[in-house]
Structure 1
């Protein structure tokens, strides 16, 4: 594992949007291949569309976006804000997205990004946080387990990803 001191976490800048879109696409592809070996990857939004989404999110802070930088390269990002789930209190935050380049998995970027998001959510007055994680994405499930999140077994829902239906589970934890 890499030394955590070499990972810088900072607010994303508009120029980071392209790297963020590429990281999301490559990490999602790697996770999908692990879950569905031999199956064709479902169609995702184009990189251009994803890049535009993240550029707008960075510009307007919805969600807030932090990036992890190692040796001058953006290697991961986290998007976080208030929960998007209906009927949740204003003190409920959500990790909207948390991705690292597959080449940097296991090197501490995810943990550094989670720490940054937790601090940001607490500054916003949040006391709890959730994250939706696809069942079968073992690396992500282990990450949230190790970060102290608890699985809400009654929350499982099915979402459409291209032509593929994937079940997701909500994770939840206190921020303090």
Structure 2
């Protein structure tokens, strides 16, 4: 039986993070955005983005490993939403390799992000999730997040309009 380890990302992890980000997006958003857009995701741009994020800790990035192989990642920091309190954190991204969905990787990453946000003085956390992404909504709800029904906004991905909803939860109470 393998166990999931979580550690801070290093610059050397950027390529694996970008590959997981791409594969997970292609699987999660299939049928929600045009296939042409999913196929056209530029891996080199994604690698550059994650290298910069790791280098400047914006967001903070942690990776999940199984047998020394990266199988998922989470990016988290203070909320990017306007007019939020400085004690509100945000899960900027959480993606798991599709081969490792439903195997506890997301829960391990969420716990690491929760601890990191708590260390930063955050008392609440939010995330933006496409309304049509039932898997992601279920994951967040299982982790104790609740939908902020007044927060729906429209994002354009690959020329398609997707509604996103903010989910939120306290970091000081509730289940992990």
Bin the TM-score by the shorter chain: over 0.9
The answer to whether the Cα contact below 8 Å between 1:14 and 1:59 also exists between their aligned partners in 2 is yes
Q: 1:70 aligns with which of 57, 66, 70?
A: 66
Give the alignment's TM-score, normalised by structure 2. Answer: 0.93
The answer to whether the Cα contact below 8 Å between 2:8 and 2:61 also exists between their aligned partners in 1 is yes
Q: Within 5 A, what are the aligned runs for 1:1-176?
A: 6-33=3-30, 35=32, 39-42=34-37, 45-176=41-172
Distance apart, 1:163 and its partner CA: 1.0
Gaps of 5+ in 1: none
CA shift in 2, pair 1:21/1:173, >3 Å: same
Aligned to 1:33, the other structure's residue is in SS state coil
Aligned to 1:112, the other structure's residue is in SS state helix
Give the alignment's TM-score, normalised by structure 1. Answer: 0.93
After superposition, give the CA deviation of every residue in 1:29-66 in whole Å (9 maximum; x if it has no partner). 11111546xx5242565111111110111111110000
The answer to whether the Cα contact below 8 Å between 1:33 and 1:41 also exists between their aligned partners in 2 is no
Q: Aligned residue pairs: how many?
A: 171
Give the ranges of 4+ consecutive aligned residues of structure 1 lying more than 6 Å apart after TM superposition: none
Q: CA RMSD, aligned part only?
A: 1.4
Aligned to 1:84, the other structure's residue is in SS state coil
The answer to whether the Cα contact below 8 Å between 2:147 and 2:168 also exists between their aligned partners in 1 is yes
The answer to whether the Cα contact below 8 Å between 1:32 and 1:41 also exists between their aligned partners in 2 is no
The answer to whether the Cα contact below 8 Å between 1:29 and 1:41 also exists between their aligned partners in 2 is no
Gaps of 5+ in 2: none
Question: In terms of mean alpha carbon deviation, does 140-149 or 45-54 score higher?
Answer: 45-54
Measured in 2, the distance between the counterparts of 1:52 and 1:74 equals 18
